[in-house]
Amino acid sequence: MKSVNQKSPISLLAAVFAILSFLMLATRTHHFASLNHLPSASIAIFFLAGMYLRNMKAFWFFYTLTLVIDLASSYFRGQFGDCITTSYPALVLSYAAMFTAGYYTRPNWQQSAWQNNIIKVALGLFVASSIAFFISNGSYYALSGKFPELSWAEYATRVDKYYFRSISNPVFYVISAIVIDFTISRFLTDKGLAKSPQDKV
């Protein structure tokens, strides 16, 4: 029996692409429910896109999709809302951090023990999510013009309030992807999702 990748590698990549696109469309509108952290699925999508799609075209597609969704949501709301400000372009750096971390921490179930893969992904996700949070959160408070008198002490209080929730948002999505990847690699194929032929940025 041929493996999933051997039989239809393009179809497998297309399935990953479709699932990530669906998640973006299904959850991105939550961006307007909270102004102090990235959407729960968006940063996970960029991390997983870097890990499995591994192509800059995928990064720019999902970034463009975030713009379209945000602008469309703003149009139907009749206003941009507080989250689309002069700090908004800084989000691309947050997403780039997630994509890059995903690219370099992809699991390889054949060459490394599963424990090492889990630790590598967990550390990469933690570091990238922290960087993404401080870029998005810090730029919002520094560049939006809405907090001209905000002190460092007040900012630290706001970080304490939102930091853990922000970095924990993508955990469910990433864990789900890793479980699926490991299952495919262990039981259905000798390659798995992480051994995608599309291995170039």
106: tokens are 């992809």
Q: Which tens digit of pLDDT belongs to each residue from 12-28?
A: 889 999 999 999 988 88
pLDDT recorded at residue 33? 44
Q: Which tens digit of pLDDT belongs to each residue from 38-67?
A: 456 899 999 999 999 999 999 999 999 998
User: Could you tell me which of 101, 42, 36, 103 has the C-alpha nearest to residue 70?
Assistant: 42
Q: Looking at the domain assignment, is residue 57 inside a domain?
A: yes
pLDDT recorded at residue 45? 96
pLDDT recorded at residue 2? 35
Q: Looking at the domain assignment, is residue 182 inside a domain?
A: yes
| 20 or 184, which is more confident | 20
Q: What is the separation of C-alpha 149 from the centre of its chain, rounded to a whole number of angstroms? A: 32
Q: Looking at the domain assignment, is residue 145 inside a domain?
A: yes
pLDDT recorded at residue 152? 67
pLDDT recorded at residue 26? 85
Q: Which tens digit of pLDDT belongs to each residue from 150-180?
A: 676 777 777 778 888 888 889 999 999 999 9
The answer to whether the Cα torsion of 190, 192, 197, 199 is positive or negative is negative
User: Could you tell me which of 136, 118, 116, 100 has the C-alpha nearest to residue 174?
Assistant: 118
pLDDT recorded at residue 184? 85
Q: Which domain holds residue 90?
A: 4-195
Mean pLDDT, all residues of the chain: 80
Q: Looking at the domain assignment, is residue 60 inside a domain?
A: yes
Q: Looking at the domain assignment, is residue 108 inside a domain?
A: yes
CA distance 25 to 41: 10
Residue 6: pLDDT band with limits 50, 70, 90? very low
Q: Looking at the domain assignment, is residue 201 inside a domain?
A: no
| 180 or 147, which is more confident | 180
Single pTM value for the model: 0.80
pLDDT recorded at residue 8? 42
pLDDT exceeds 90 at position 35:
no
- Among 5-9, 24-28, 148-152, 190-194, top mean pLDDT goes to 24-28
pLDDT exceeds 60 at position 191:
no
Q: What is the DSSP string of 141-193?
A: HHHSSS-TT--HHHHHHHHHHHHHHHHHTTHHHHHHHHHHHHHIIIII-SS-G
Q: Looking at the domain assignment, is residue 126 inside a domain?
A: yes
Q: How many domains would you assign to the chain?
A: 1
Q: Which tens digit of pLDDT belongs to each residue from 69-118?
A: 888 877 666 555 566 767 788 899 999 999 999 999 999 888 889 999 99
Q: Looking at the domain assignment, is residue 200 inside a domain?
A: no
Computed on alpha carbons and rounded to an integer, the radius of gyration of the chain in Å comes to 18
pLDDT exceeds 50 at position 34:
no
